[in-house]
Amino acid sequence: MFDTTYEAFVADTPEARRIHHRIRYTVYCLERGFEDPQAFPEGEERDEWDDVSVHFIFRHRATGAWVGALRLVTPDRDGLPLHQMAYMEREVQGPAWELSRICVPGGVTVPGNAAADGRGQMPQDARAPDLFAGMLRAAIEYARDQDVPYLYFLANRALARIVKRLGFVFHGVGPGCEHRGLRYPYLAHLDEAVLSAIQHSSRTAKLFLSPAPAYRYHSDRIQKVGSSANAVCRAA
């Protein structure tokens, strides 16, 4: 299960944001070649939507390796990123964010990653379905905690099939568009998506009904680590 193998963090500290951008650099620049590595000499992929986004990072508990990232983009005066790329046949009334930059490195060294082998290599199980399901849970539950009922998602058919296999309902809301290959706009009503996923799979139900938090804030982790270190010093 996700909660015994991984943990999810909102990247609300400068350190966490750097980790998030390094993972994106690894995937989008080094692995997939979607972006020019020379455009990011610090090894951190960024774009104009990051200033209006909530960023997440995901950690492998046993090794300490950072194994995934995603962001939730909030609307600005021009809407959301997919509004600039796709024709939307259906829009919703009410708050809606966009799930974006969801990525898991496939074994390439992530700059600055602290894996157990000291070289930043991803653990062998980093592409497991449990990781992707837990990443979706973190994004969905964060949005619901902010009273945002809808998420848009621009994805290729292969990724859409993975989401469907996990039981989540994302409705197609427009024709395909060219963006690093053929992509399609999807829309999820989050209560519907979660209910469908819970009914679809007992494993997914355990994930969403688990008492463990769907995400934590990275700043809380730092405070907890600092408090533990201080307690050890006082005991000594």
Instruction: With cut-offs at 50, 70 and 90, classify the pLDDT of residue 225.
Output: low
| Kind plus residue range of the DSSP H or E element containing 224 | helix 218-235
Question: Is the four-CA dihedral 173, 130, 223, 70 of positive or negative sign?
Answer: negative
Strands 53-60 and 66-73: antiparallel
146 compared with 114, residue with greater pLDDT: 146
Cα distance between residue 69 and residue 48, in whole Å: 17
Check whether 200 has a pLDDT greater than 90: no
208 compared with 227, residue with greater pLDDT: 208
**Percent above pLDDT 70 for the chain:** 86
Predicted confidence (pLDDT) per residue in 42-70, tens digit: 999 999 999 999 999 999 998 899 999 99
Check whether 80 has a pLDDT greater than 60: yes
For position 120, what pLDDT does the model report?
46
Cα distance between residue 100 and residue 215, in whole Å: 17
Q: Which CATH architecture has domain 2-235?
A: 3-Layer(aba) Sandwich (3.40)
For position 115, what pLDDT does the model report?
41
Q: Which of 20-24, 35-39, 78-82, 228-232 has the lowest mean pLDDT?
A: 228-232
Segments making up each domain of the chain, as ranges: 2-235
The per-residue pLDDT of the chain, averaged, comes to 87
